[in-house]
Structure 1
């Protein structure tokens, strides 16, 4: 009976039978499992994957020196749950927080902690994987954190559920980390895990900085308040950012510079901003943009410029209005959601660049065509991935041509319509809760659903420039050394937007360079004629008599 499948030797994968059809069971070749052999010989390694290649992707969790109180409470709950046996626990929320909490709970219980990411979990046979995970847990005195990530496909969820059931049967301590709640067999207890609270984050920063810098308490408090209001970082990220900021500040002090309040804030801000780069850039639908434009570079009506200034103020001073002055943000959250509407080339993207530069935040363009899926629920999942990745740094998110995706909602005809409405509602909810700035652009504001528009903080309308504005745009896009001999009044008569004016000026410059001549009206006329052709517009009479 010791060789039957349910017996410990085979159930734990300690031995392997290599069947031969010509021999009875009692005469079958038996071999000690290779990972077990290495373990018995003392070659344990720090990671189970070193002995068992089938567990490739395994990572080791190391407990931090101390968790913040809100996270320590969740670690205590796990310890309490496991006092009576290996109860599987779902950790719902931020994956890095889940790792820290799992490591702390395991350390307190005297267990080593290992983890496996979703891509490794969902590609393996549940029975074989459970046997290997259970065996390693018993041999090493360990627990496992299984990272499911975002909601897996139904078939993958079924395999994950089977894996959990088998691990429970093997009495293996297991935690499941997920971004969304998963209803799996045997998974009866869920803990919500979050990053440290704002006050805890400020305390973590302070712990790293006090004693290393000689700055007045009010200056440090003001700087930390600003940084924590904008950047939502884990304890490990704060430790790394604080170290980076200290290196920069100590360098300035060694150069003989006096440490001003703006220097302190700038160093902390830059270090925190640097911690948030990686996650968003790994999302396929997101591309980082260089924010070179300044608000003073924009040729816009005064009212539009004023509104852009208000947008920047709402982002910059949220901590002051909500936290210090006590104003309520309401049910919708503190997010600043903005719609830029207007024809192509009128400056919507450039205005987004200018705001990102003014706020000293990263700017990311979100390609909605890659987010939208015909499969029910997939668009919401993709949006969640973008916002979750952006939360650390409160970046400026630019959703181009939003009307193509979030336009007027039709009457609910079928389940696809109902899910489309849910996806729009989810987008609104995340925009309102987002700690950064979310900008939607559209070429046709009337196509945006009114229910959507009502929940936006600002709507900025970019009109086609008038002749005086066009003349100023021409002057700005053409370097001053070429202004002599150019008729800006005549150029302003061409009904082009700022983006098209920039195209014409650049193409004309290349024409002049190819001819070895300075830029002149003839080059601009030819380039303007070609631009009009691209726009499928008739050649205007203003071009006919140019020199």
Structure 2
């Protein structure tokens, strides 16, 4: 027998005495009491007995008086309308300090159940704990097939007349027992008094000490990671999402205020996000500071999906209706708050269903709050969720459990993960290191962090996992220094633009945008990959054919999808040949010109609010509109390589290729003015020729490859004999 079951079984012993009293009272005058077929049919004597019965019923010991209105006219402080106030009788008051394992008492205390409600719940619960009550209830119901308590039987056992309005109100659809999901009434087609009472399995399990979540919530609701605040204020870490300087104890003032409110009373809050995940991260920190665990629901990620070619929605997952009733009951049983992120397109039903005053509910969404979403006249508290900060070193250290051997700050500087994401990434990195049988490395941590940024950019962009580094770049010192500065800006933008308040304001984002300009093959795309690799991020190359659309307005919609996804994803976005969409505006001489200018105007506005990292490349810098140039953080010019740089590019391309002992690419570097991309192509041509011979690459192979690149470019090449 479990500790949690003992108090319930003690209560059932008292209930058994009441049942025995009622059985004895009825059987004393019932002519069919000894009939083995009692309850299967009605005899004449049974009918006459029923006609002679008093309407007052029995008065078993331990009677609970029905609650009567007190005439005050004040409504109850609950969200459901009650037909009467609850006034406890002194003899039915629960013990002031019951044992901790008496969950029925604590449930009644948390949910503010009256003694009459508590007794009704126990009566309905009895057959689920002791099978003997099934037979007893069947006898008292005058029907051996009705083995659960009915409304009439529950009132009789509580000593409440079945005609009492206050007693019948306990079973109203808006009464506490039903709205809290503690009991359910079956057989709606039967008369009111004959309807059966049933306690859901989840409530029974909770009262017995089992806190396994309701099966109806599987796949829809998860437990939010609980991050309690540090006990020592001096050690309290500044949470992700803080936008300004923290308070004296290091905790953001907005987090502290919300935590204080949540600790004092249940509160409904709408958090408007700037970036997907901001609200969830802020809610996690605030609830941790308040000491309140939570359940997380993300309905917008598992609801109806629309196909563009069809008008009707198509089900993406089974069971479109979300279990709001079960979710609220789970929160009430376990004392948890509810956090909802990624609201559905039409959130009215969700907000109205969760707008209660006894459970803390935090809603997070990028859209501004619409008062029409809630028709109860009590809107939630609307707050702007602070932006998530990148590189919260203290949070990463706490999640890893120990200080790694490498410098943690530059490794995690680019990842804008919430507390839950940091925790999952840290566990995944430790698992990867254990799988490799090595100590945790920066590569493990970066790979695990990238996996936390599930992105939808693949529909419009090609993902590149960076596999190059600074040593792969052969550039003059000027452009190389600018590329390193670009990485520095991406790592420290939260501090400079946020903490130091150097943002221009006006809703501008904290994005980093750079332009790479230079001839084809000078290393622009390779440099973008190096920048992404230095930040530990994936590179997404935008596929312009999937973006540009002949229909008016469709190009802007495609670009908005890309920018929105890039805003919420830790990745580097690359617009190759950017002059196709970032070109100069022109005078309006036709409708095409007007719409082209509208696209440019949209891009100008979108770059202002962009919060990610974007790189643009172009072969003709003069084709880029000057208004775009003003919004760029850096413009890096890639010069055509001189002879010294060309020789370095030849040697760099040959670094991993088997070569002849006397190979010397100096003549190729001097005689052929080729960019880095063309030099690599020439080396590939030479490598194939050498592989066909089964020999190393020779100088002649390099010359042949260089000549081919000249011919591809339409340039004059001397005959082979002249070389």
**Shorter-chain TM-score: which interval?**
0.5 to 0.7
Report if the CA contact (8 A) 1:289-1:364 is conserved. Answer: yes
Q: Give the match for residue 424 of structure 1.
A: 604
Mapped contact 1:242–1:271 kept (Cα < 8 A): no
CA-atom RMSD, angstroms?
Answer: 5.4
The match for 1:118 is 300
Q: 1:515 to 1:423 in 2, by over 3 A?
A: same
Length, aligned pairs only:
490
Tell me, what secondary structure is at the counterpart of 2:569?
helix
The aligned residue for residue 245 of structure 2 is none
Deviations 1:30-78 (A, max 9, x none): 99899x642254278645452x26x532101243221753264253365
2:259 aligned with 1:76 = yes
- Residue aligned with 2:680, SS: helix
How far 1:290 sits from its partner (Å)?
Answer: 2.4
Tell me which residue corresponds to 1:277: 450
Q: 1:270 deviation in Å?
A: 6.8
Are 1:146 and 2:340 counterparts? yes
Please name the residue that 2:652 is paired with.
476
Deviations 1:302-355 (A, max 9, x none): 54345445556666787998999x795655787653211123211112233444
| Cα distance change on mapping 1:247 and 1:175 into 2, 3 Å | closer
Q: Aligned residue for 1:258?
A: none
Unmatched 5+ stretches in structure 1? 20-24, 150-155, 249-254, 256-266
Q: 1:447 to 1:170 in 2, by over 3 A?
A: same
Superposition map of 1:382-531 within 5 A: 382-390=562-570, 397-409=573-585, 418=598, 421-430=601-610, 438-467=614-643, 469-478=645-654, 479=657, 481-482=659-660, 484=662, 488-490=666-668, 492-520=670-698, 523-524=701-702, 527-528=705-706, 531=709
**After superposition, where does 1:80-159 map in structure 2 within 5 Å?**
83=266, 87=268, 89-90=270-271, 92=273, 94-101=278-285, 103-104=287-288, 107-108=291-292, 113-121=295-303, 129-137=323-331, 142-148=336-342, 156-158=344-346
**Farther-moved stretch of structure 1 (440-449 vs 116-125):** 116-125
Instruction: Output one character per residue of 1:62-114: Cα deviation in whole Å (capped at 9) or x when no partner.
Output: 4322175326425336527955xx64534535144145147448854xx7634
Residues 143, 173 of structure 1: 8 Å contact kept: yes
Q: 1:203 to 1:246 in 2, by over 3 A?
A: same
| Cα 1:137–1:458 shift into 2, 3 Å | closer
Q: Which consecutive unaligned segments of at least 5 residues does structure 2 have? A: 1-167, 231-238, 240-250, 305-314, 433-438
User: Partner of 2:451: helix, strand, or coil?
Assistant: helix
Corresponding residue to 2:479 among 297, 301, 304: 304
Q: What secondary structure is seen at the aligned counterpart in 1 of 2:340? A: strand
Kindly indicate whether the alpha-carbon contact (under 8 Å) linking 2:226 and 2:294 is maintained by their aligned counterparts in 1. no
**Retained in 2: the 8 A contact 1:279–1:389?**
no
Please say if 1:191 is aligned against 2:383. yes
In the alignment, is the contact (CA less than 8 A) between 1:286 and 1:365 conserved in 2?
yes
8 Å CA contact 2:285, 2:419 repeated in 1: no
TM-score, length of structure 1 as denominator length: 0.68
**Counterparts of 2:381 and 2:644, CA distance in 1:** 66
TM-score (norm 2): 0.54
Match of 2:539 among 364, 371, 377: 364
User: Greater RCO between the two (CA within 8 Å, min separation 6)?
Assistant: 1
Q: Is the 8 A contact 2:213 2:330 kept in 1?
A: yes
> Which residue is equivalent to 1:349?
525
Whether 1:168 and 2:355 are equivalent positions in the alignment is: yes
Contact 1:365–1:400 (8 Å) recurs in 2:
no
Alpha carbons 2:339, 2:362 under 8 Å: kept: yes
1:445 Cα deviation (Å)? 1.8
Question: Quick one: which of 331, 338, 342 aligns to 2:514?
Answer: 338
